């Protein structure tokens, strides 16, 4: 035990240099003061409304955070996940990884846009609303409060089903697959471990982890934890849900990493991070130092939130977050290009 504690302290000391209070530099086209003149009360409008929403539905916080992840991982942070399907094909929401996105989260974004439009006019993109709502979901749940670069534009098209499936790694993924998938997006191993900490809030469907229970129990899962999960998920095809973090399920903190150290991670993609030498040291650091986790989470979220953003004259500011503006005239041109690109 003493040697393990010493190892953790050494690792913690070695990683302190990774974290900084410095604000990340926004990518070209984004800024921290983008709506200073056109919608100066934007962030207070969103935060005040979400405070009310979370008082009646705390699970919405995890839903909004997940919505931001699923948007950014597929063709960038462009609100494409909000688009309904069209005659040309199903939207991203209909792809298997997105079927469990909270409908309440989509409604919350539309409600926020209505409040914003009433005070500022139609000047704020849906993509920016999603990014701010994700940040507020973290902060209002007890996590870090950080500044979000703004100025994103909304996409004119949604991604194909193939592209959506390819860029959202399933919960059964191993660490090597996760590292490769995130590297393709421009995110590194530190981002992987850090962003996975978002699982400290929210719920999961049984079918996303029953591969670890049936037909035989994963030996890398604590037995008591597994037996309790079987009570909630008595069969492979159970439709029930359970919390991601058994310690503090509604609080954004570092207990997710403590869960992993106790072999109480829910998904294969979670628990594998503690078993793999490439990611274990950071798990140990975050498990003993919440401040280190919070600082890096803020940095990784800002980094992820700037993936392949549309800015300037690109895309549009949608009047309705679930549909492109009438008269855009680019849908039939862009969708074949996306389909072609997804085959490489």
Q: Which residues are catalytic?
A: 70
Record the tokens describing residue 113, joined without a space: 């846009």
Identify the DSSP state of 84: P
Number of Cβ atoms within 10 Å of the Cβ of 304: 22
DSSP string, 294-339: HHHHHHHHHHHTTTT-B-TTSSB--SBTTBPPTT---HHHHHHHHH
Phi, psi for residue 128 in degrees, rounded to 5: -70, -35
Task: Please state the φ and ψ torsions of residue 86, each to the nearest 5 degrees.
Answer: -135, -175
User: How far apart are the C-alpha atoms of 41 and 137, rounded to whole Å?
Assistant: 18
Tokens of 262: 């106790």
Torsion of CA 181, 182, 188, 191, to 10 degrees: -140
CB distance 145 to 139 below 8 Å? yes
The two tokens of residue 292 are 């280190």
Interatomic CA distance for residues 331 and 324, integer angstroms: 9
338, 157 in Cβ contact below 8 A?
yes
Buried b (16+ CB within 10 A) or exposed e, 31-46: eeebbeeebeebbebb
């Amino acid at each position: 035990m003493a040697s393990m504690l010493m190892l953790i302290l050494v690792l913690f000391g070695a990683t302190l240099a990774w974290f900084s209070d410095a604000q990340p530099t926004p990518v070209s086209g984004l800024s921290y003061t983008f709506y200073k003149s056109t919608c100066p009360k934007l962030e207070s409008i969103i935060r005040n409304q979400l405070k009310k929403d979370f008082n009646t539905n705390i699970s919405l916080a995890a839903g909004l955070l997940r919505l931001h992840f699923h948007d950014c991982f597929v063709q960038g942070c462009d609100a494409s996940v909000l688009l309904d399907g069209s005659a040309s094909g199903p939207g991203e929401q209909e792809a298997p990884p997105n079927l469990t996105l909270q409908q309440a989260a989509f409604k919350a974004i539309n409600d926020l846009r209505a409040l914003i439009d009433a005070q500022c006019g139609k000047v704020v993109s849906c993509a920016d609303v999603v990014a701010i709502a994700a940040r507020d979901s973290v902060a209002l749940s007890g996590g870090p409060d950080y500044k979000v670069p703004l100025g994103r534009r909304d996409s004119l098209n949604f991604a194909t089903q193939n592209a959506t499936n390819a860029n959202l790694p399933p919960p059964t993924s191993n660490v090597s697959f996760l590292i490769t998938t995130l590297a393709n997006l421009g995110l590194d191993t530190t981002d992987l471990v850090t962003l996975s900490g978002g699982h400290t809030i929210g719920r999961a469907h049984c079918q996303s982890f029953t591969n670890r229970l049936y037909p035989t129990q994963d030996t890398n899962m604590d037995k008591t934890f597994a037996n309790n999960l079987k009570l909630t998920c008595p069969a492979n095809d159970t439709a029930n849900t359970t919390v991601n973090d058994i310690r503090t399920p509604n609080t954004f903190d570092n207990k997710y990493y403590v869960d992993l150290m106790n072999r109480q991670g829910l998904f294969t993609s979670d628990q594998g991070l503690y078993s793999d030498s490439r990611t274990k040291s950071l798990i140990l650091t975050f498990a003993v130092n919440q401040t280190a986790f919070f600082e890096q989470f803020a940095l990784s979220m800002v980094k992820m939130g700037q993936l392949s953003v549309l800015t300037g004259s690109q895309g549009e500011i949608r009047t309705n977050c679930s549909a492109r503006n009438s008269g855009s005239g680019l849908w039939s041109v862009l969708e074949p290009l996306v389909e072609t690109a997804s085959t490489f």
